[in-house]
Amino acid sequence: MYINILLSFLVGILIYTVPTLADQTYVVKSSTNWGIWQGWGTSLAWWGKVFGHRDDVSKIFFTTTSTTLNGQSIPGLGFNIVRYNAGACSYNTYQGAKMVNSTTIKPWRQMDGYWLDWASTSPTSSSWNWSLDANQRMAMTKARDNGANIFELFSNSPMWWMCKNHNPSGASDGSENIMASNLQQHAYYMATIAKYAITNWGITFASVEPFNEPSGNWWTANGKQEGCNMKVATQSTIINYLRTELNNQGLSSMKIAASDETSVDQSASTWLSLTTAAKNNVYRINVHGYQGTGGNRAAMYTLASSAGKVLWNSEYGENDATGVRLVTSLMLDLHRLHPTAWSYWQPLDAGGWGLIDANNDAATLGAVSQKYYAVAQFTRHIRQGMTILDGGSDTVVAALDSKNNKLIIVAVNLSGAQYLNFDLSGFSGVTNGATVPRWYTQLGSSGSRYVSSPSDTVISGMKFRSYFNTNVIQTFEVSLRAGTGGPTTTMMTTASSAMGSIPTTTMRNDGGTVAQFGQCGGKDWAGETVCVSPFTCKISNDFYSQCL
C-alpha cells in the first residue's frame, strides 16, 4: 500500500511538473489603419446553379440569424458580397458551329451564358436569351434581399463561340484560347450584362472582372470547369475595351477589377506587366488565395497601396474541413496582405471544399464542417465598415467598430495549450473590470462549435487573458467607452509614403447620394459623394472614402 501511495505521489509530481508553454502577450495597436472592411462574400458559381432557389441556404450565408438545416440550428455567416458569374455555355447551333464540351466537366459546372451566337449584338435580339441561368440569378437576388450589398460580375471564360476551339474549358494545351477578333466582344458581353442587371434584375454591380486566373496553363479542353488562359497583353487590351464598353452603356462609375490570378505572387507579376493604360483603368486588384500560407503578401500589398488600388482576396478555397488551413491563411491575409474583403469559393461542395458538405450531383446537403464555424468566428464579428487594426501577430487580428464602440479580436492558438494575453493599453476607452464576451471553436474533425461564453473573461487594468487549448480559435468583443479609444489616421509606412497625407474632405461634391457602406470619394473618384442620411462620408485613405 505504501509503495502504491508513493508511486502515485511521484507520478503526480511528474505530471504536475511537465513544462507548459509560456504565456504569450499580444499588443493590439490602436495607431494602425489597414483599411475599412468592405465585407465577406462568396462566388455563386457553381453552387448557385444547384441550390440558388433555396431560402434556407441564402439565410445561412447572407444573414446572421440562425437557420435550421437537416434538423440542426446553424448560425448565419453574414456574408454581404456576391460574385456573380457570367456564364460561357449555350447549347444552340449557329452556322454549323456549336459548343465543344470537355469530357470531364459536370453539368453543374457549366454556367449558362446569355449571348448565344455572333449574329447580333442587340441584347433584345434572338441572339440573346435572358431567361437562362435562373438559379444563379435567384441566388443573387435572394442574397440581396437578405442584406448583401456589394455585387461583382466576373467571367471564367468568354462565351464558347469567342474561343478558338469553341470550348469554354480551355485550349488543348492550356494556351490562350480567346480569338483575337473577340477581345472587344468579350468586353461588350460583360458590359451588356452589367447594364441589363440594373434595369431588369435590380442589381447594380460595383465592379466587373473579365478574367479568372488567366495566366493559368491548366485551362485545357478536357478540364473539369470553365476557364481560359489569356496573356497579360491580352488582359491589358480587354481591360481597356471594358472601360470603353462600360462607358458606352452609361456605366462610367462602374469599376473594373483584375486579374484574379491564382496566387499573390502571380497577381504581383501580372500587375507589374499590365500596360499603364490598363492599370489606370483598374480600380481594384483581385487576388486569389491558392498559394496557401506561401507567397509574398506584404509585397502585393505594397504594390496595391503604392498604386492607389483597393485590394481584395476575391477567392479562397481548399479541401481541409478542419478549418486549420483556412484560419492560418486568413490570419496571414489580414496581417500581411491587408485586403478589404475576402470571399470563399464554394461554401457548398464535397470533399472538404465546402463549408457545408454538398452533393451537387444529387442536389443534397450534408454535414456542416468545423471550417464553417471557424469562418463564423470572423464573419459574424468583423463587419462591414469596421477598421482593421494590427493585432500584434500573424495569429491575431483586430477590428474597431467605431459605430458601436467595440473592439473585436480574433485569435487562434495552433501551439500547445496556453493562456494568451491581450494588451489594450493603446485604447483609452477600456474599462477595468469589464467583462469580455467570447466565442470559441475547436479546429479539427470535431469539438466545440462557436460556443458562447459571455461573462468568464474580465479586463484587468488594460489587459485581459484567456485560456486556449491547442487548435482553438476565439473571438472577443471588448466594449469601449463612447468617443474614446479609436485608432489614429496614421497609415502603415508603406501606404503613407506612397499616398501622401490623408485629406480632410472628399475630392468631389457632385450632389448625388450614396447608400451606407458605398464609396463616396477619393482621388479620381467620379461618382456620387453625398451619403444618404444619417451616414457621412468618412476617409479611409487618399483613394477611398465610404459612407458610414
Q: How many helices (H) and strands (E) does the chain have?
A: 12, 27
Q: Is 167 helix (H, G, I), strand (E, B) or coil?
A: coil
Closest residue by Cα to residue 209 from 341, 321, 28: 341
- Residue type (1 letter), 156: N
Is the bond preceding 43 in cis, omega lying within 30 degrees of 0?
no
DSSP assignment of 359-420, as one string? ETTTTEEEEEPHHHHHHHHHHTTS-TTPEEEEEEETTEEEEEETTTTEEEEEEEE-SSSEEE
CA distance 60 to 55: 9
Q: Is 213 a catalytic residue?
A: yes
Task: Give CA–CA dist 398/335, Å, rounded.
Answer: 9
Q: Which of 209, 226, 315, 528 is catalytic?
A: 315
SS3 145: helix
Identified catalytic residue from 213, 245, 261, 528: 213
Long-range contacts of 389-392 (CB under 8 A, 24+ apart): 389/28, 389/29, 389/30, 389/32, 389/33, 389/34, 389/487, 390/28, 390/29, 390/32, 390/34, 390/335, 391/26, 391/28, 391/29, 391/335, 392/26, 392/27, 392/28, 392/29, 392/423
Rg, the chain, Cα only: 25
Q: Is 209 annotated as catalytic?
A: no
CA dihedral 518, 522, 525, 528 (to 10 degrees): 40
Catalytic positions: 213, 315
